[in-house]
Structure 1
Amino acid sequence: MKSYDQLQRYLFENVQVRGEIVQLQQSYESMLVNHDYPDSIKQILGELLTATSLLTATLKFEGDITVQLQGDGPVKYVAINGNNKLELRGVARFDAEPASANLSDIVGKGYLVITITPTKGERYQGIVALEHETIAQCLETYFIQSEQLATSISLYTDTRTAKTGGIFLQTMPSIKEEAKAEFDHLVQLTSTMKTDEFFSLEAQDVLYRLYHQEEVKLFESTKVIFKCGCSKDKTLNAIASIAPEEIKSILAEQGKIEVKCEYCLENYSFASADLLSLTQITPEQ
């Protein structure tokens, strides 16, 4: 059985370049289930899910990460939320079906926003204008601007079979000028991989197919999973931020308050008795 939903890190022994490869299926399917997304939005969600997993494995932090696309196109907002354990979830909000799967047709003019909230330390946010046609190109620009490291990101998504994945290459911080030609050579090799072939091979076979003339050191793989993280308690705490008078008005009109998680579509229902302690509503009121 093919081993999807695993992220594999690797190094080139004789070249100052590091890499990652990830192939996702169950985590991607779980993100899409019950959402009636058109194929163009499934495509961009798959690419952003893959890109976030690669990005999360590259950045050294413990905590939460959010990668968002925001724009003025038919799709106003696409986001992948996760953490350093590669537990991810995603959602898209759209007004109409995009004309094509091109980033400009989907999101229009806007930004890619990367927010890292570490368990300890200060929150970090990086913003890149959506000036390229692909998420991969926008992220490559992010790394050049933020870390001054040459980076190549290849993303593959097959919406028919609900599979997505990618390959990440990046120069090491200590790379010498003459080694950049070797990085460019690896990028050219990677560009020969097609989507169908990428999903027909195991990750290690993909690496062998691309880099069999190189010495590649593989590290232990990391599981990537879909995990929403919503719960009745968290939803109840969110409702508690609403003014008591507004809650009373909703209860008087509807008899309950219902909240649906936009990520997993789980529906949470709260009657008046569930809200007493949080809203300061007494039975007499």
Structure 2
Amino acid sequence: MNNSIQRFLFKDLNIRGQVVRLEEAWQSMTTDRHYPKAIIELLGELSGFAVIMATGMKHAGKITLQIQGSGPITLLVVEVSHDLKIRGVAKTNQPIDEQTDLDSLLGDGRIMVTLDNSVTKRHFQSFVDRQGETISEVCANFLSQSEQLPSKMWLSANEHAMGGVLIQKLADTDDIDADGWDRVHSLTNTLKDEELTTLDAETLLHRLFHEEVIELFEAKEVVYECPKDSSKVEAMLLSLGEAEVRKILKEEGEIVVHNEICNFHLRFGEKEVDELFTEAADTSIQ
């Protein structure tokens, strides 16, 4: 499965982890965006972290990771639902040097994590401190603090795929094998970007840890989904009022609204405006 996340466990060490790799879903999210290499890498890494976070959700809803930066990358957003449907977008305000570091790209931007519970209709927000030189390091440090488990993460992305590996040290790991965590960490640290973005979980884990006993759990599919939902735009037009909307329509010939996160245009001509306000009038009469 080329769009999936899988949990694994070192049975003799009590170290757990996850492997994520996206191909078609990642390509669907970035196609026709013309992102430079630096954005592809950052958005891909953030997407991998978002999928990992979403697997820990205990309720229906979604998790949103958002960075509003003061550098050339002004916005990075990734949303992943509890059933692993993903979408995301990046915005810039100037050309980007491919060799630019994280601070230069984002300025003082921080990662905001929003957890939406669709059952209770409540949401929880927190900020990820920028402790680390890469998104991988920043996100691993966040997990170490929030879950109280030492965590290490490797993330990589290119225009074709993104991939990532997370390992976490459980409470009694040192009692089982005092050198186990350091050994697993050192082996995982040999990962190359090409391996992260091209190898399936089973092959990758065998290549790294063929001398260890690993249990690999069932893969969960990750799907890109960004439906063309016009309801919010229609509500916005209704709030403007029919006179104002028809005035805009007369001046512009057509009302066009661009959905940035899904990268499509909603178009309202005279026919669509007539239908919108006729339906609204019929509803109000009922």
TM range (shorter): 0.7 to 0.9
Call closer, same or farther: CA 1:238–1:47 in 2, change over 3 Å.
Answer: farther
One-letter code aligned to 2:21: Q
In the TM superposition, what is the alpha-carbon distance from 1:256 to its structure 2 partner? 3.0
Q: Aligned equivalents of 1:69 and 1:107: distance in 2? A: 8
Please give the per-residue CA displacement for 1:134-173, whole angstroms capped at 9, x wherever unaligned: 11111122123322221111002233xx11110011233x
Contact 2:153 2:165 in 1 (8 A): yes
* Superposition map of 1:121-136 within 5 A: 121=120, 122-136=122-136
The answer for the alignment partner of 1:283 in structure 2 is none
The CA RMSD over aligned residues, in Å, is 2.3
* Superposition map of 1:56-135 within 5 A: 56-99=54-97, 100-121=99-120, 122-135=122-135
One-letter code aligned to 2:152: S
* Deviating more after overlay: 5-14 vs 195-204: 195-204
* Superposition map of 1:244-259 within 5 A: 246-259=244-257
Contact 2:54 2:62 in 1 (8 A): no
* Deviating more after overlay: 24-33 vs 243-252: 243-252
Q: Aligned equivalents of 1:236 and 1:38: distance in 2? A: 33
Q: Aligned equivalents of 1:101 and 1:225: distance in 2? A: 31
Tell me which of 263, 266, 275 is aligned to 1:265: 263
Contact 2:117 2:123 in 1 (8 A): yes
One-letter code aligned to 1:175: D
Call closer, same or farther: CA 1:199–1:93 in 2, change over 3 Å.
Answer: closer
The answer for the alignment partner of 1:11 in structure 2 is 9
* Superposition map of 1:161-180 within 5 A: 162-172=160-170, 174-175=171-172, 178=175
Which stretches in structure 1 are left out of the alignment for 5+ residues?
A: 281-285
Contact 1:151 1:169 in 2 (8 A): yes
In the TM superposition, what is the alpha-carbon distance from 1:247 to its structure 2 partner? 3.0
The answer for the alignment partner of 2:214 in structure 1 is 216
How many residues matched? 276
In the TM superposition, what is the alpha-carbon distance from 1:12 to its structure 2 partner? 1.5
Q: Aligned equivalents of 1:186 and 1:135: distance in 2? A: 21
Please give the per-residue CA displacement for 1:219-259, whole angstroms capped at 9, x wherever unaligned: 11111111113323343234334465643442232233211
One-letter code aligned to 1:105: S
Call closer, same or farther: CA 1:97–1:132 in 2, change over 3 Å.
Answer: farther
Q: Aligned equivalents of 2:182 and 2:265: distance in 1? A: 49
Call closer, same or farther: CA 1:246–1:152 in 2, change over 3 Å.
Answer: farther
Q: If the length of structure 2 is used for normalisation, what is the TM-score?
A: 0.87
Contact 1:257 1:269 in 2 (8 A): yes
Q: Aligned equivalents of 2:59 and 2:181: distance in 1? A: 26
Please give the per-residue CA displacement for 1:94-149, whole angstroms capped at 9, x wherever unaligned: 10122235221211111111111012233111202334221111112212332222
Contact 2:129 2:142 in 1 (8 A): no
Tell me which of 34, 37, 46 is aligned to 1:36: 34
Which stretches in structure 2 are left out of the alignment for 5+ residues?
A: 282-286
Call closer, same or farther: CA 1:203–1:144 in 2, change over 3 Å.
Answer: closer
* Residue 147 of structure 2 corresponds to residue 147 of structure 1: yes
Q: Percent identity?
A: 29
Per the alignment, in what secondary structure is the counterpart of residue 44 of structure 2? helix
Contact 1:136 1:153 in 2 (8 A): yes
One-letter code aligned to 1:275: L
The answer for the alignment partner of 2:284 in structure 1 is none
